Amino acid sequence: MKWRSRRQSDNVEDLRGTGGRGLKIGGGIGGLGIVIAILYMLLGGNPGDVTQSLQVDQPYAAGPSEPLSAKDQEMGQFVSAVLASIEDVWRERFRAAGEAYVEPKLVLFSGQVDSACGYAGASSGPFYCPGDSKVYIDLSFFEDMQRQLGAPGDFALAYVIAHEVGHHVQNLLGINDQVMSQRGRLSERDFNQLMVRMELQADFLAGVWAHYANMEKDFLESGDIEEGMNAASAVGDDRIMKRTQGYVVPDAFTHGTSEQRVRWFKKGLDTGDINKGDTFGAAVL
Ligand SMILES: [Zn+2]
C-alpha cells in the first residue's frame, strides 16, 4: 500500500507504552490499586467497587511513558492512514444514503487495555466495543498473523481494521443491538449462527471499503487485494480451530469458515454496494 503521503486520522488513541488506561490502578499490577483493594476488602467491601471508581476517575497518561521505536511509530502512522481512508469511504456511503457517519476511535495498545467491554489482553485479538464505539488493536496480533497464521502484508492489517470498523457500521445501523437482543433467547448453537452472519457482514463491509480504496489513484498496489483475501482466509474459524485444537466443531463457529469469509469480503470488494451485504437473509453463506 502506498500510504505515506495520505491523510492521517485524528481518531487514533495511542496507548502503547503506557500500560493501558487504568491498568496501574485497577489492573492489580500497580501497587496502589492492590493496597487499596485489600484494605477495602478487609473493611468488608467489594474490591470491584473501589477499582471501578478509581478507573473512572483516573485519566490515562496523555503520551507514552516509554518512547516508541521508529518501527512502532511507523506502524501507528500506517494505522492512522488506513483509518482515514476508511473514514472517508464510510462518510461518503452514509452521506449518499442521507445519514451522518459518526467516526469511531481506534485505540492502539500493548499488553492490556481497559475498555467499556472490560479488560482485554493481546490474546483476545482486535475487537470493536459497541459500548464506547472504539476499535481496539494490539499490533502484536499483526505479528501473529504474519508468523503464525501465514497472513503477511500491510493490507492484511488494513483488512482487520476495516473489519472492526465494519462492526462499528453495524452498531450505527442498529444491527448489533438486534443480534445481541437474541442472546439468551436462542440456543447457543443458533446464537452462534447469528454471530457468524454478523461477522461475515463485517467482512463484507471491509470489502466495500476495499472496493473504494482500490478505485483511488496511488493507494493500493498489486498483491494488496490478495493479501486481504489471504488474511480473511487465515482467520476462518475452521482454519483457526484446526490450528489450535486439531479438529473443527462447526456448531461452535462464530466467525465463519475461511471460504465464507473470503466470499463475503470479495462480494463487498466486487460490488461496493452496501445493499448486497444482507448476510442475515442469505440462504447460503
Ligand atoms: Zn469481527
91-117 residue pLDDT tens: 999 999 999 999 999 999 988 888 998
Residue type, 55: Q
Please give the model's pTM, rounded to 2 decimal places. 0.82
Residues 6+ apart with CB under 8 A from 196: 237, 253, 254, 255, 256, 260, 285
For residue 7, list its beta bridge partners. Answer: none
- The alpha carbon of 38 and the centre of ligand 1 are apart by a number of angstroms equal to 37
Residue type, 138: D
pLDDT, one tens digit per residue, over 29-43 is: 334 444 444 444 444
Question: ∠ CA(106), CA(197), CA(229), 5° rounding?
Answer: 65
Q: Which of 3-12, 18-27, 146-155 has the lowest mean pLDDT?
A: 18-27
- The alpha carbon of 199 and the centre of ligand 1 are apart by a number of angstroms equal to 5
Neighbours of ion ligand 1 (CB under 5 A): 199, 202
- The alpha carbon of 246 and the centre of ligand 1 are apart by a number of angstroms equal to 23
Q: From the CB of residue 88, how many other CB atoms can be counted at a distance below 10 Å?
A: 18
Q: Above 90 in pLDDT, residue 267?
A: yes
CA distances from 223 to 147, 156, 226, 228, 230 (A): 18, 11, 5, 9, 10
Site of grid cell 492484511:
156
Please, are residues 85 and 1 in contact by the beta-carbon 8 Å criterion? Answer: no
Give the per-residue pLDDT at 246.
Answer: 76
Give the per-residue pLDDT at 33.
Answer: 43
